[in-house]
Amino acid sequence: MVQSPFPGMDPYLEGYLWPDVHHALAHEIRRQLIQKIAPRYVARVALRFVMTREDSEESIGIMLPDVELMAGKSTPPTREGTSYTGEAVAIAPFVLPLEPAIRIRLASVEIRDTANRSLVTSIEILSPVNKRGSGWHEYQQKRQTVMRSHAHLLEIDLLREGKRPVTDPRLPPAPYYAFLTRAPLRQIEIWPLSLREPLPTLAVPLLDPDPDVTLDLSLALATIYNEARYDLDINYRQPPEPPLADEDAIWASTLLAVGDS
């Protein structure tokens, strides 16, 4: 089995590989859970599309050119085919092209009961578009929709950049998080996830009185890493994007050096 050199989340998966990681992880979570919840429940991968003009595509490996400053031409403006002959009109010295809106496909996992198809638990794997600009506001609206319902919400944030879905000054610092909001208590259970520790096994709540089932996040990530052979795309001799914080960068360099020896 091909394994990542990191004991927990591999920071090299946050760059251009993230779109593939995101979708593979959703399907692996479904595969892992369906065996534990059938026949009373089903797990389904749900797709939705988000329109954005933000530069978040760079964070998920879709490299777009920077906005260019283009010199304006000296051709005088015309109206109905006739040039102005009176007072001179100042020509704009720069033209900023408007980037077209880009449609991004996002995957989540929904647990529904088989009796009436109602949503029981929504599992969100955050992407860069959820964590910045207009995409962050769109995702906050989706969160509120779920929390106004009778469904639970499990959020898995394996990206270091961008806003967290939960913004509270009491939040302990960590590079990654998992957040579980149970219905109807609406108390948030928080797992700060260290770069240096294996990913945890998370609780996935169902309808009362059924007990929680478990999601082995470490196993899910290890499975998709091996199946997709992400190691063939990663150069561990280069720093990851985005770069690690100083202490974590030193630790990762030591870890990778030991792995090369």
- pLDDT tens column, 104-163: 889 999 999 999 999 999 999 999 999 988 888 889 999 999 988 889 999 999 999 999
If you average pLDDT over every residue of the chain, what do you get? 86
Token representation of residue 78: 């015309």
C-alpha dihedral (147, 149, 154, 155), degrees to nearest 10: -50
Phi, psi of 37, deg, nearest 5 = -110, -20
Whether the per-residue pLDDT at 181 is higher than 80: the answer is: yes
* pLDDT (0 to 100) of residue 100: 66
CB 14 within 8 A of CB 241: yes
The percent of residues in the chain predicted with pLDDT above 90, rounded, is 66
Give 48's strand partners. 106
Kindly report, residue by residue over 12-44, the tens digit of the pLDDT. 999 999 999 999 999 999 999 999 999 999 999
Token representation of residue 13: 């998966």
Whether the per-residue pLDDT at 187 is higher than 90: the answer is: no
Phi, psi of 195, deg, nearest 5 = -65, -25
**pTM to 2 decimals?**
0.82
Nearest one of 195, 72, 206, 208 to 152, comparing CA atoms: 206
- The mean per-residue pLDDT over the stretch 43-52 comes to 86
